[in-house]
Amino acid sequence: MFSTMLTSLILISITSIIMMLASVLSKKTLTDREKCSPFECGFDPKSSSRLPFSLRFFLITIIFLIFDVEIALILPMILIIPMSNIFIWTATSISFIIILIIGLYHEWNQGMLNWTN
């Protein structure tokens, strides 16, 4: 018990020291006005250099990631068919797919799958 606590304390202290050193060493000490100003062929920019972020694209990306992870959860279910009870496997698979279909219907009902809005 004592050796586990001692090892944990040593690892936490080494990690803290490395994080503090990285923080101190990464600071830029030279703050020159010219280096901090935006560069656009020697002229000040006329407009913001950043484009507005599309919230619609972000939400579509999140929906894609959710369904992508769910596909990664469904694929191993095929491999465990021989090792499991077929009734429990079927109930689990059907309930999981029903949850996916309800989520897809909700997104479709809310209009998140329409690109032309």
State pLDDT tens for residues 71-116: 888 888 888 888 889 999 999 989 988 988 898 888 888 887 777 6
> Which of 51 and 67 is assigned the larger pLDDT?
67
Whether 40 is in a domain gets the answer no
Full-model pTM: 0.48
- pLDDT score of 40 more than 90: no
In a domain, 39, yes or no: no
List CB contacts of 74: < 8 A, sequence separation 6 or more.
93, 96, 97
Tokens 């990631």 identify what position? 65
Is residue 17 one of the residues assigned to a domain?
no
**What is the spatial distance between Cα 37 and Cα 51, in angstroms, rounded to a whole number?**
18
Return the closest-CA partner of residue 95 out of 77, 72, 68.
77
Domain count, the chain: 1
Among 106, 90, 92, 99, CA closest to 70: 99
- pLDDT bin (cut points 50, 70, 90) of residue 32 is low
Tens digits of residue pLDDT in 6-15? 999 999 999 9
Which residue range(s) make up the domain with 64? 55-79+88-112
